[in-house]
Amino acid sequence: MTTKLSAIVLAIATLPFLSFGASAQPRLRTVLSPPVSPACISSSFGPRVLSNAPGTGSYHYGIDLPATQGSAVFAIAPGTVIRIQRSGPGGLEMLVQHDGFVGIYSHFGMITPAFAEGKRDVAAGEKLGVVGMTGVTSGPHLYFEMIMAGKPVDPAPYLNVALCNGAVRPAAPVTPDDGGVMIDGRKYWQFSIASRQYIQWQQH
């Protein structure tokens, strides 16, 4: 099998975190708001296998927030756009560097023109685009993922969003740790040099 190696080095200033124990999720200084309204979780963070969509993998690294197609998607906090891309199961998506974490917003129907044209600064509550059905999806919804210190964490506790069926949300399972993180079909590894963080990925 031919291996295609793609590498990007992103120099990101060290992210500010409050201290936390090994068994607890990191705490943030920023108060977050759900990216869609009203918001509930139809598919939680954790192990998941979809028989009709094997390409989505066996682990759900974020949460699904169902919404009407065309509904507004808002930034959950201030930040800076890292990139906008359209490839893989996430479809049309935006990666935003927020204070203390990276937010991945997926399955857009459309990105707000200002961002599509290169705007990078994001205000809390600013409209990023609208909900769509791009990528691998059985219905209109927003997939949202949070990456802290190089690893995905359950966004639900930070957004204070309940399950759509009213059930009690289970404790977040431990994310499999093989030294990397899968994002949109690519493998990411994070390491530190001096006071900056660098991210590199390999695509097969």
pLDDT of residue 59: 80
* Nearest alpha carbon to residue 34 among 77, 98, 92: 77
Relative to beta strand 12-13, strand 196-202 is antiparallel
pLDDT of residue 67: 95
pLDDT of residue 30: 60
Could you list the mean pLDDT of each consecutive 10-residue stretch along the chain, which spans 204 residues?
A: 36 33 54 91 79 61 94 97 92 96 97 97 97 92 94 92 76 50 52 37 39
pLDDT of residue 86: 93
Domain boundaries, the chain: 29-166
pLDDT of residue 170: 54
- The CATH H-level (homologous superfamily) assignment of domain 29-166 is Glucose Permease (Domain IIA) (2.70.70.10)
pLDDT of residue 8: 30
CA–CA gap between residue 29 and residue 42 (Å, rounded)? 27
pLDDT of residue 83: 96
pLDDT of residue 68: 95
With a threshold of 0.85, does the pTM exceed it? Answer: no
pLDDT of residue 16: 36
Contacts with 55 (C-beta within 8 Å, 6 or more apart), sequence order: 89, 136
